[in-house]
Each structure stands twice: as C-alpha cells, then as structure tokens.
Structure 1
Amino acid sequence: MLDRRQFAATAFAVAGLALQSRVARAGMMALDPGYGPLQSDPAGLIDLPPGFSYKVVSELGQAMDDGHRVPDRADGMGCFRLDGGRIALVRNHELQPKHLATGPFAAGTPAPAEAFDRIGDAALPGGTTTLLLDPDTLTVEKQYLSLVGTIRNCAGGVTPWNSWLSCEENVDGPSEGVGRDHGWVFDVPADADGLAPAEPLKAMGRFNHEAAAIDPRTGIVYMTEDRDDSLFYRFLPDDPGSLRKGGRLQVLAFHDKWLRDSRNWAGQKMAAGSWHFARWIDLDNPESPADDLRARGAKKGAAVFARGEGIHWGRDELYFTCTSGGRAQQGQIMRYRPSRHEGKDREQREPGRLQLFLESTDPAHYSYGDNLTVAPNGHLFVCEDQYTPTVTNHLRGVTPFGEVYPFAFIRIQTEPAGVCFAPDGRTMFLNLYSPAKTIAIRGPF
C-alpha cells in the first residue's frame, strides 16, 4: 500500500480522505479516483479505460520524409502548437553507438554535416525526430530527423519559446571511442524544418541528464539526473529565453542540514507528505570533464535523490520522479514550489519548498515511475519502467491528493515513455519504447 500520511499534505486532501473513510464505514464503495476498469485491447497493445481509444501515428522503420527511417527506443517527447493550426511532436531516441542498426540511417549512409558526433563516417544514432500532425485527424503530414549525432537522448522538456530541450543520459568522451564529450542539453526548435544545429548548452552542466522543466514566469530551468546518488539542479540563465548566453548552475540542499538523503533506503529520513525549505548551492566548472558535479555538490551539502527522472511544470509548482526511491525502492514523486523570489537575493528570506509527495511500498500500485506529465485537470500521468524479467508496466494516474490509479496497461514487453498532451488537452501522446511506436489517445479526459 502507499503511505497514506502523504495525503495530509493539504487540508483539502485530508477532507477528501475523511469523506472516503466515512463512505467505507457506511459499507459503501469508495469512488474510483480514475477513469474506470481497464478494457482488454483486442490488438494486444495497450489496455485503456472505457470510452478511450488509441491510434498508432508512427512506428519503427517507417520511411520518413527526409529519406531516413523512424529510429527505435522512443523516449521523452513534447507537443507544440505551430502556425497554421498544426501541432508538432519532438521525440527523443535513446540510442547509443552500438545501436546503429536501429538508428535512422541505412548502412553506409555518411553522416550529415549537422551531426554533433560520429564514429568514422557514421553519425551517432541518438537524437530527435519531429512529427507534424493535423490536430483533428491526427494524420502525420511530415516526419523527419531534427537532431542527430548524440547519445542516449532520454528525456527533456518543453520551453516557453516552443522548442524541446533534448538531454543526453550519457557522459562518454574520446576515451570511450567517440569523437567528443557527451552529457549535454540541446535546444531543438519545434518548427525546425529538418536538422537543427547540434549546439550543446554547456553552461547547463555535463552530467547524466534525464529531464528538464522551465518555470515560464522566471525562465529558470530545473533538471534531474539519473544516478543512484543524483542531485536536483537548477540553471539561472543570464538572459531568460536565451540559454546559449550562459548562466549559473546550482544544486538543491535543505535548510535542515541533518537532511541530506531523500532516498529513504535505510529508514524514513524524509517523511511522506513533509515539506522542507530549500537552499541552492553554486557549482563551478559546469563542463565537468571528470563527471564529478554530483560528488562536488554532495560535498557542499546538496541533497541526494534516488535516480531523478521525469520532471514537469504544473500550474505554480513542478513534480519529478525518483525511480528507485523509498524504503521498498519502488519509487517516489517529489514536488517543488519555488519561492516568490526564486533565484533572487530575497529568496533566502522566503525560500522555496520541496515535498515528498508520494512514496510507494507496493509495486502493484506504483512501481519505478519514470517520465511524467501534468494533465490539464491537474492529475499526474506517470510512465512505469520496471526492471524485472517480465514487466507489468502501466501508465499511472495520480490525483492531487496522491491517490494512484491505473490509466493504461502496456500489453507488450516494453515501457511507456514520453507522455504529453496536445496544447488543447484533447489528445494524449505516448511512446512505446521498443519496438518504437508513438500513439495518440483520445477519450473523456
């Protein structure tokens, strides 16, 4: 079961639980916080609640409009509104040098000039593809490669200037047989008509990047790191909206200096539902040739997290997953509320706060949450990514009270990823990692 103390995070949540308790005592069935029981998919791909349906809009090996093919390992993804009423999906592909055969190029294809890195004449296969769709019919009007030559583009985040921050979950360099250092964030415009310049945003740090979220009010970028001893980062841009102009990289620590480890692996150091005031520590040398940002940050007092992964901005706060956090190591969700003076001198007198919003102790309810998004109704949708020999991955819904429910069950042996909503909220898009498929889901959201 989930730790029900977390539901006491707000008075409204407590009231909701009290109502459920009264219903249970009366012998009545408590209301389902989700959309109803999942219905078996005759095609054997994904089970959804009543009234919902899906359409496969793109899949591995399809010919794209630039002459290349849809790559495998579809991961993080963002959706954007374009001029003329169309929408764009920018989709990561978590490919490594060993995956050239399932990348976008046929054997022997020379690397395009825009490729960030290559081995011999071949571009490294990681990067992004972009799909242009009609928002009503969901017809793909065009799909093409928009970033290439990178490694393990895992997740990322949308920007207020209509681009996708694609993040490398890899810190290989020339000593590992590639041509350049990796571990960067790349800014891919949603309306780029072809390959975007592969320019790494080095001031945002070189580490095992996972995802990014931007506060649209301040332009501050928050980033997660997929390591067992990961940190939680923020980037204060010198010029909000122009990340290439540089800025300051910082890591989160707690004002309660006794609290340094949020993972709860050795006991409940961080109580579910509890809020803690944050402070931020500057990091120098963000290009980190030794891949030591997390070690240097922890030495200065930064808080440690259990594999920070998906992150998404809500109305006035953000959520991020810690995939293996908690005493049962089944996963946590953190919630961060910035200060009214975030990134300014007055922040010290009125700091932001971080909460352990959810911690699972039962894999049947929530297990290894990875990518996530905030739905228009305020619910979270979290992609599970289990590491058992046979996976039972779900797309989980989480209410503002912290109640968890199954929204979808993945019938094939892969993970859901890249969950996001169209700008009008009518359509959810979701990737099935491998063999790669991108699906569009509609129903009574």
Structure 2
Amino acid sequence: MQTLGSHAAWATAGRPRRRHDRDGYGPLRRARAANTGEELLALPAGFTYTVFGLTGTTMSDGQATPIAHDGMAAFPSPRRGAVRLIRNHEVRTGPGSPTGRVHVPGSDRYDEQGVAGTTTLDVDPRTGRVLEHFVSLNGTTTNCAGGVMYGGRGWLSCEETTAGPRQGWQRKHGYVFEVPLHGPGPGRPAASRPITAMGRFSHEAVAVDPRTGYVYETEDDSGKPNGFYRYRPRNPRDLADGGVLEMLKITGRPGYDTREGQRMGARLPVEWVRIDDPDPDLENGAATCTQQGLAAGGAKFNRLEGCWYGDGSIYFNSTSGGDAKNGDSPGADGYREGYGQVWRYIPGRRRDRDHGGRGPHRWNRDGGTLELVYESPGRKVLDSPDNLTFTPRGGIILCEDDASSADADPHPLAPGLDNVNRLIGLDPGGAPFEFAVNITDDSEFAGACFSPDGSVLFANTLGSTTDLTPPGRTYAIRGPWRRGPL
C-alpha cells in the first residue's frame, strides 16, 4: 500500500485510484455503541465501537474522570491481552478550580494550582471494558497533545499555554512533561517535572525520530505566526539532561511564509536556527521562543497541531493554513485562516555511526526537506485537521477541530448540530474521505491512535474544556480495516 509520503506525487501525476480509494470504506450510517446502546458516532458498514472513560466516571484511584479528553497514545499493557492508554486532559479552568480537575491530593505536583494532566487506562481491546484507570500526571495546565517517548517508554505531555504567576498560577507554564509507561499506579501519579530545555511556548504535539532521538515539536498560538521546532537532546533517554532547541528555516529564504501560496509536492530545502533562550522569562519581557526563531529567519506556520513519525518522516498539521479561507477575522499580522494543511519534514541523509558503528546514526543537522502533502480546498472536504495518526497499514487519520466561528458546518447524519467534527482518512491518491462523524455534540475528535496489534482504533471526543458538559468520551473502534485504504 502507498503511504502518505506518496500522496502528493499521486495527486500531481493524476494517477487513477483503485476502486476502494474512491469512497474510503463506503457510506457512513448512524451506529449504536455495542456496550451502552447509545447512538454517538456514524461509521461505515461493518465497523463497531464501544464507549468508555466518560467525564465524571469514578476511577480506580477514587478520583472522578476529568474533563477535556485530548491527545492520547496506546501501548502494550502490563496486563496480559490489554492495551494501556495514556490520555491528556486539556483543562482550561482557572488556577485551582475544582471543575473537572486532574488532581490527586498529596501527590508530587509541579504547581499546586494546576488543573490539568493525564490519566492512564488499561482496556480490554475486545470488549472495551476498562480494567483500571487513574490519574498519572497532575499539577500542570492545558495539557493538549504530546507524543510517544523514545523507545516507547511512555508519553510526553505538552502544555498549550505560556501562562504564569501573573495569571494566578503558582509556577510558570508552557512546558513538556514525562509520563512513564510503567510508573506508579492508582493514587500515586508521576512527579511532574518540566523539561525546560525543550522550550517554553504554546506546545501542541511532539514526535520522536527513533533513529536519532530528536524530538520534533509543534506550536499552536492562535492569531500569530507559529514555528516548527526540533530538540536535539544530549541523551534521548534523558531529555531533562539538556540539549539544543531549534526552529525550522527554509534555506536561503528567511521568514518564509508557508501559510498560503504553496504547491503540493514541492520540496523546500531546510536548515535549523538555534533558540538561544529556550526558557524565556516572559514575565519580565524576554523574547519568546517564537520571536527568537523568526528573528533568525525561521519559517512561519499557522496553528501547528498534530505531529507523528511515520514512513521515515515527521508529519504535522497546520490546522488553519491554506489558500481557501474559513471566513474568520484576520490575525494580528493580517493573515486570514484557511481550512488546513498537512506537512512532511524529511530528515537529512544519514552520515555514519558514532562509537565505532555501535551507536546511533549521526545525521546532517542542517539537512532535510519540507513538503506540503495535502491542503484542504474547503470545509466539506477537510475542516481544520488537528491530531493525526498513522495506521499500522500505512494510512493516515486526521482528527477534525472545526476552528472557524464564521461558517456553519452541518452534516446530514447529525441533524441539529451546526459545527460537526469528523475523523478523516487520506487515501493513497491523496484524496480525503469521511471515516467517522461525531453525531452527539460539537466536540472535536482528538487522540486517535491504534492498539499495538493494529486491530482497534482508539479516539476521544474532547467535550468541554471548562465545564462538565458536554462530557469527554473515549471510543474503541473495530472493523474490516483491510477492506479499505487505512
């Protein structure tokens, strides 16, 4: 099967699609959850789902399941036959607010006023039954997305904010935190320690290149240009040991604006510029990481969100990039938001091995290329891609986050909803297709990821980030994956 790296080539070459590529898995229909009977999603024929992890559900540690289910990853569980999910909660309430809070009294927390963090769930993938669930990180705020740690040792959870004491928090925020896969259990969350060398900015997601241990980071700060970052750690297994933070720059074209006027399939040569102060004292007027990178010629993106390693490359979404505009008011620099782009960064060529051929490969620091592999022509096709994931069969799934407030986005399978969000697949011909529709509320999809054996797709609907309704939910979707392009 062709992978996403070939999508732009297929599209520009005008190659014919195979039969199943024309409509993904066929038309969708409203479906009931196998375990509750609720009609929550629309899916293609042959696919079934269970729902669990509902906001307010009492967990194994006695805490209520928090609000705002966001980025997530699936790992092998210590329990035989089970899958371990580590799930972010993008709680955006005020400092210390009890509403939907991620909180374990007496635990080792970075900020006593923190309201967000992660929960860990062990799930039976066949039935969707939750075997154990508990808070695994607290003392943070606005934990949006993240990524899998080097070697699959756990989850990197990212704060999508740069708030601090001036906003009522006890500590500065805007960092990445580690959540060990095999850490403490119920009632004993991991100690929350910010990795300051990875940067203080409005983080979204990260992806680790398993060949180098480099961590690629997206930034989502609405209304202004954002950067795409790379963290080169001294030790990939100990990110807190320090390293170098850099921003992507298009070689020979300082300040290149990727947000519009781009051509699918064109490859742009890349170099990286160093961020000299990755942990800026924003409270006293220090230049932000973004300002530092752009001043050095870094490329401009708009609302970078989902990020995933696959097919030897790093793929990431610009949620509001593109020439087709969504109608929202322009940002501070006059840019008008689009319906979304999917980008691919292809790392530089391998040089040689360190340590006499026994260590990791050394890679050209200034090498690599950037390629636009898909750009949405309008909301009906793809509206604001957020999280993304690769499928075990080489396909890709995009989680929609209808970011525009200007245009309604109804759907015939979800009557009564003005802004409907979907899971969108990309076929080998570069064309998007609907795979799932949230027919319950206007929550965005988030955290899509596959079980280690590839048989189950897990995904969240966010719910509210400030209130108990609508609730966040987690889904387990099974079906005939090999019948179509995912």
Q: Structures share a fold, TM > 0.5?
A: yes
Is the alpha carbon distance of 1:131 and 1:180 closer, same or farther for their aligned partners in structure 2, counting shifts above 3 Å?
A: same
Structure 2 residue identity aligned to 1:281: V
Deviation at 1:135, TM superposition (A): 3.5
Residue range with higher mean Cα deviation, 80-89 or 207-216? 80-89
Alignment map for 1:117-266 (pairs within 5 Å): 117-119=111-113, 124-159=114-149, 160-192=151-183, 193=185, 194-227=188-221, 228-257=224-253, 260-264=256-260
Out of 429, 432, 438, which is 1:404 matched to?
A: 432
Return the offset for 1:353. 0.9
SS at match of 1:118: coil
Counterpart code for 1:9: A
Q: CA deviation at 1:40?
A: 1.6
Match of residue 60, structure 2, among 58, 65, 69: 65
Q: 1:362 aligns with which of 362, 372, 378?
A: 378
AA matched with 1:211:
A
Cα distance in 2, alignment partners of residues 231 and 258 from structure 1: 13
Offset at residue 149 of structure 1 (A): 1.2
TM-superposed CA distance for 1:33, in Å, is 4.7
Matched, 1:337 2:351: no
Structure 1 pair 405–209 and aligned structure 2 pair: CA distance change class (3 A): same
SS in 2 for 1:18: coil
- 2 CA distance for matches of 1:162 and 1:347? 25
Q: Contact between 1:416 and 1:431, CA under 8 Å: does it hold in 2?
A: yes
Amino acid of the residue matched to residue 408 of structure 1? A
Query: Greater CA deviation, 386-395 or 211-220?
Result: 386-395
Q: Residues of 2 paired with 1:254 and 1:443: CA distance?
A: 42
Structure 1 residue 103, shift from structure 2 partner: 1.8
Match of 2:449 among 417, 420, 427: 420
Contact persistence 1:80–1:162 (CA under 8 A): no
8 Å contact kept, 2:15–2:429: no
Who is 1:281 aligned against? 273
Post-superposition shift, 1:32? Answer: 2.1
Cα shift readout 1:54-76 (whole Å, capped 9, x = no counterpart)? 10121110001111010011000
Which residue pairs with 2:107 in the alignment? Answer: 113
For residue 411 of structure 2, what is the aligned residue in structure 1?
none
**Counterparts of 1:401 and 1:205 in 2: how far apart (Å)?**
37
1:3 aligns to what? none
1:431 to 1:34, Cα distance in 2 relative to 1, 3 A: same
What SS class does the counterpart of residue 405 from structure 1 fall into? strand
CA distance in 1: counterparts of 2:6 and 2:176, whole angstroms: 35
Structure 2 residues without counterparts, runs of 5 or longer? 33-37, 325-337, 352-360, 409-417, 464-470, 482-486
2:77 paired residue number: 82
Cα distance 1:18–1:133, how it changes in 2: closer, same or farther (>3 A)?
Answer: closer
Shift in alpha-carbon separation, 1:413–1:44, aligned structure 2, 3 A: farther
Percent identity reads 39
Verify: 1:18 aligned to 2:21, yes or no: no
* Paired AA for residue 214 in structure 1: V
Q: Deviations over 1:306-346 (max 9, x none)?
A: 11000011131121000100112000010111112389574
- SS of match in other structure, 1:333: strand
- Could you tell me how far 1:116 is from its partner in structure 2? 1.6
> Offset of 1:234 from its aligned partner?
0.4
Q: 1:338 to 1:376 in 2, by over 3 A?
A: same
For 1:285, give the aligned amino acid. Answer: D
Contact 1:95 1:152 (C-alpha < 8 Å) held by counterparts: yes
CA contact (8 A) 2:102 2:118 kept: no
Q: Work out which of the residue numbers 372, 386, 391 in structure 1 matches 2:419.
A: 391
Q: Which residue matches 1:437?
A: 473
Contact 1:213 1:312 in 2 (8 A): yes
Structure-1-length-normalised TM-score = 0.89
Query: Could you tell me how far apart the structure 2 residues matched to 1:396 and 1:142 are?
Result: 30
Q: Which moved more, 1:84-93 or 1:206-215?
A: 84-93
What residue in structure 1 maps to residue 355 of structure 2?
Answer: none
Alpha-carbon spacing, 1:401–1:352, altered in 2? closer, same or farther (3 Å): farther
Amino acid paired to 1:414: S
Q: Distance in 2 between matches of 1:364 and 1:162?
A: 39
| Alignment partners' CA distance in 2, 1:437 and 1:297 | 37
Cα separation, 1, equivalents of 2:248 and 2:161: 22
1:64-115 Cα shifts (integer Å, max 9, x gaps): 111101001100001111334332100000013435312245xxxx843312
| Pair 19,197 (structure 1): closer, same or farther in 2 beyond 3 Å | same
- Residues 285-324 of structure 1: pairs in structure 2 closer than 5 A: 285-290=277-282, 292-324=288-320
Q: Partner of 2:53: helix, strand, or coil?
A: strand
Alignment-derived partner of residue 26 in structure 1: none
Once the two structures are TM-superposed, the CA of residue 401 in structure 1 deviates from its matched residue by 3.3
Following TM superposition, by how much is the alpha carbon of 1:125 offset from its aligned partner in structure 2, in angstroms? 1.6
Decide whether the 8 Å contact of 2:51 with 2:128 is kept in 1.
no
Q: Deviations over 1:355-384 (max 9, x none)?
A: 011111211000100011011122110111
Higher mean Cα deviation, 179-188 or 336-345? 336-345
Q: Output one character per residue of 1:216-261: Cα deviation in whole Å (capped at 9) or x when no partner.
A: 1111100000023110000001012211111100010011416610
SS in structure 1 at match of 2:128: coil
- Deviation of the 1:416 alpha carbon: 0.8
Name structure 1 gaps, 5 residues minimum: 1-5, 24-28
